[in-house]
């Protein structure tokens, strides 16, 4: 047998032993069925299906997520100001902010920022 095969067999055996020791010696013996069901976006799949879903809340949270990601993309640009050409970085940051403001104004004019319709 090759040394590689023996090593992999040994590692798998040790992993199997540790897994079974954890399974049998663990203090948590109770099976929790809530942990085995799928969880998606805070919706409980066991509850009624006719619960109201707020579409404006979903749109506002989606917009918040998009702008939050854009802001986190802006922070490294500020950190690299001292390493790159100042004029080029200022132009890039202003273009980025222009795109963010244009998007915000467009969403405002289309009515996506209204909480209730």
Helices (H) and strands (E) in the chain, counts: 3, 0
For residue 24, the domain's CATH number is: 1.20.58.1610
Residue pair 77/92 in contact by the 8 Å Cβ criterion:
yes
Question: Per residue in 29-86, pLDDT tens?
Answer: 666 666 666 665 565 556 556 556 677 777 778 888 888 887 888 788 777 777 878 7
Assigned domain for 115 exists? no
**CA atoms of 92 and 77, how far apart (whole Å):** 9
Assigned domain for 13 exists? yes
In the prediction, which pLDDT does 9 show? 93
Assigned domain for 116 exists? no
Read off the pLDDT band of 15 (50, 70, 90).
very high
Assigned domain for 26 exists? yes
Q: Report the Cα 5 to chain-centroid distance in Å.
A: 39
The residue segments making up the domain with residue 87 are 1-110
Residue pair 43/53 in contact by the 8 Å Cβ criterion:
no
**CA atoms of 93 and 87, how far apart (whole Å):** 10
Assigned domain for 6 exists? yes
In the prediction, which pLDDT does 65 show? 85
Phi and psi, residue 109, nearest 5°: -70, -30
- The total domain count for the chain is 1
Assigned domain for 53 exists? yes
- The closest of 72, 71, 41 to 54, measured between CA atoms, is 41
Assigned domain for 46 exists? yes
């Amino acid at each position: 047998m090759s040394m590689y095969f023996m090593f992999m067999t040994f590692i798998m055996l040790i992993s199997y032993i540790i897994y079974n020791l954890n399974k049998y010696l663990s203090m948590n013996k109770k099976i929790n069925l809530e942990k085995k069901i799928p969880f998606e976006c805070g919706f409980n799949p066991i509850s009624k299906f006719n619960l109201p879903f707020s579409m404006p809340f979903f749109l506002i949270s989606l917009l918040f997520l998009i702008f939050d990601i854009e802001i986190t993309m802006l922070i490294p640009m500020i950190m690299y100001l001292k390493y790159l050409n100042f004029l080029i970085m200022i132009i890039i940051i202003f273009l980025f902010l222009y795109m963010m403001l244009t998007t915000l104004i467009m969403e405002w004019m289309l009515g996506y920022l209204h909480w209730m319709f």
